[in-house]
Amino acid sequence: MDKLRLHGFNNLTKSLSFNIYDICYARTREQKQAYIAYIDEVFNADRLTQILTEVANIIGAQILNVARQDYEPEGASVTILIAEEYAYESPMSEAVVGHLDKSHITVHTYPEFHPDDGISTFRADIDVSTCGLISPLKALDHLIRSFESDVVTLDYRVRGFTRDVDGAKHFIDHTIHSIQDYIAPDIRERYQMVDVNMLSERIFHTKMRLTEFDLDDYLFAENAADLPDEEAADLGQRIAGEITDIFYGRNFG
């Protein structure tokens, strides 16, 4: 698509929703609690703020405000208000109301575990919403690598319209056929990917799951080699089933 000559500001809103799942098996209640505590420490509000700050830098946005919170007993949230980098010279302020070229990045975490069968799941929801020329798609690779997740679901939508110098409305300002087009080849090689897209409505959905399965990657405080073969096979089947359920969004078991 040729570069648009716009009348005024680019009013298109580009929103990327990034939903990740990390699955783990923790046998005892103590192991479950230790896993939740570990995840809560690794992805606390400070660490999440660092990741989202890196996202802002990657997409070329200026940070206007940061709000973050760790929760009891677990979980964390961070919200960052951003603007196009060239638009402001003032430093980050304590309270800013966003309008026009101001957008946001948010993350919320949800550590949890199954009460009976030992499977624990860490979920993080991330939203990157921008206006103007900056695009959240530039941060995809960084987000995927930051969390190294078993299952990822991605939603991208372009909303609103902007006008060119002749007054014609434009409902999208860039070419896109699939979110996968914006993911690095080395990441695509590691994941099975499925698209559900509505190009006419500018709605794009991609879900991803790791193609390789190593039981040791899912055991907390245990090694697969120390388990009886029958138990290891059973655990592998149950964990793989959990991943399949999450990937397809329904219960198969």
Please state whether beta strands 61-70 and 191-198 pair in parallel, antiparallel, or not at all (unpaired): unpaired
Dihedral of the CA atoms 245, 24, 207, 170 (nearest 10)? 130
Which residue blocks in 95-166 are alpha helix, DSSP H? 140-147
Sign of torsion, CA 217 228 25 73?
Answer: negative
Which residue blocks in the chain are alpha helix, DSSP H? 29-42, 45-59, 140-147, 185-190, 229-248
Residue 6 has which token pair?
């716009």
Residues acting as catalytic residues: 103, 108, 131
